[in-house]
Amino acid sequence: MYMSKKENNEESSLSKQRLAALSLKKEEPYVTKVEFIGEGEHPGVGASWVIGAKATMGGEVFDISLGTEGNTAIHFLGNEGKKKRYDEITNKELSHEYPLEVIYSNGKHEVLE
């Protein structure tokens, strides 16, 4: 079966999104939902693939950038209230593991236990 370059790129992006979600679940165990925005990109020569997303923790939505290798960045620029809320959420002792609802850039859903 022949795949167009666009279909192949989308498959590659979705595969990377799943790997990024698995890395996020390990790195940020308080995240209960992640919704990917766009297809992701390599922002420069030799740079790792990265994608933007919305991550939900403790009922609060955070803007993040993440990659397949666990290099997650949570964006707080100009919003100390968000940073304080993030610290409150992540400084609590983790009582159990949360399932992670994943919404891929193509709209498909998956729950990672």
Host domain of residue 68: 5-112
Domain count, the chain: 1
Q: Is the pLDDT of residue 3 over 70?
A: no
Torsion of CA 102, 99, 89, 63, to 10 degrees: 0
DSSP 48: P
CB 10 within 8 A of CB 51: no
Q: How far apart are CA 99 and CA 113, in angstroms?
A: 4
Task: Map tokens 């995240």 to a residue.
Answer: 31
Q: Output the pTM of the full model.
A: 0.88
The tens digit of pLDDT for each residue in 5-61 reads: 556 677 899 999 999 999 999 999 999 999 999 999 988 888 899 999 999 999 999
Q: How far apart are CA 106 and CA 20, in angstroms?
A: 15
What integer is the mean pLDDT of 74-98? 91
